[in-house]
Structure 1
Amino acid sequence: MRAFIFIFICSLFMSGCGAAESDTHSHASLVIDAHERCHMCGMMVKQYPGPKGSLHLKGGELQPKFCSTRDMFMFALQPENRRQVETLWVHDMAATDWQYPDDEHFIDATKAWYVYGSNRKAVMGVAVAPFSTLTAAEEFARQYGGAVFKYDEITLELLSAD
């Protein structure tokens, strides 16, 4: 019985260690290097204002970074790329500066609210501004214009309408 309890307790500790390691790895992969180039257009990611994006592709170490959330969506929504995308991350613009978004404020893109069509511009023109809460997105839209969308409502057709 003691052996069973010992093995059970050890397995709990080991599973906790693995989760912490995975979280650390995920956060480290979200850091955008000062010399990192946009996977979509090749521009220097950190040299421009507005929200940035990052994604992780299935089955690989490749974690493309993007100079704008618009570029990230234009890449991720392509039919040939869509099934390869495992996770997407965007800056929470309610928690970080528009001119210099902070890598500490990335959120899961699938859970974010977005404002599209505002007068706040990003590097690639019209911004797809992400927020962790509906309230923050609505406030941004009131202040800068644009419409509020859920993740599933961001489409290639919407982004190509300009």
Structure 2
Amino acid sequence: MKKLMLIFLFVPFMFACSQGEATSQPTHAQAIHDHDRCHLCGMMITKYPGPKGQLSLKNETIVPKFCSTRDMFNFALQPENKRQITDLKVHDMSVTDWEHPEDSAFIDAESAWYVYGTSKKAVMGPAVASFATKEGATKFATEFGGAVLTYEQITIGLLAGE
């Protein structure tokens, strides 16, 4: 009888744990500090202009941060990394300064719009400027050049210049 009581006692806990794992909650972006280094290239993140990125990985407490959205995509699009990612964040460049993007301007990367091939300078090659809306991306592309793209259109081949 005691064993049966213990089973009934632990059943709600088992369901609570499994439900938490089944639903992936979006995380809030973490602040980028002056001494944070890019997870991909090791450069000081805040030392360079342009949008930055960060992501969350399954079963990890570390939050990889990147000196550019380009580096974030180069990491995130690798097959061995892609399946481990639970959340991606990028700066909305329509509401923050290009030279010093603010942590409060992070948005979900998968719903963002991007401008690739702009004349605006960033770190690590051509910028992949990120925006919360298509209108923001289009306005930026009109002013600084580049192609307006969705998240799905950013590929390793595009970043490699193919």
Give the structure-1-normalised TM-score: 0.82
Task: Give the number of the structure whose alpha-carbon radius of gyration is greater.
Answer: 2
Cα deviation for residue 148 of structure 1 reads 0.4
Structure with a larger share of its residues in strand: 1
Structure with a larger share of its residues in helix: 1
Contact 2:91 2:106 in 1 (8 A): yes
Cα deviation for residue 33 of structure 1 reads 1.2
4+ residue runs of structure 1 moved beyond 2 angstroms? none
User: What is the CA–CA distance in structure 1 between the aligned matches of 2:137 and 2:97, rounded to whole Å?
Assistant: 15
The 3-state SS of whatever aligns with 1:137 is helix
Q: 1:20-39 CA distances to partner (integer Å, 9 max, x unpaired)? A: xxx9x943x52011100000
Code of the aligned partner of 1:56: S
Code of the aligned partner of 1:87: D
Contact 1:55 1:89 in 2 (8 A): yes
Contact 1:75 1:81 in 2 (8 A): yes
Corresponding residue for residue 95 of structure 2: 95
Contact 2:27 2:87 in 1 (8 A): no
Contact 1:30 1:106 in 2 (8 A): no
Cα deviation for residue 46 of structure 1 reads 0.4
The 3-state SS of whatever aligns with 2:50 is coil
**What RMSD in Å do the two structures reach over aligned CA positions?**
1.5
Segments of 5+ residues of structure 2 without an aligned counterpart are 1-24
The 3-state SS of whatever aligns with 1:98 is coil
Corresponding residue for residue 119 of structure 1: 119
Segments of 5+ residues of structure 1 without an aligned counterpart are 1-22
* Number of equivalent positions: 138
Corresponding residue for residue 109 of structure 1: 109
User: What is the CA–CA distance in structure 2 between the aligned matches of 1:151 and 1:76, rounded to whole Å?
Assistant: 12
Contact 1:51 1:129 in 2 (8 A): yes
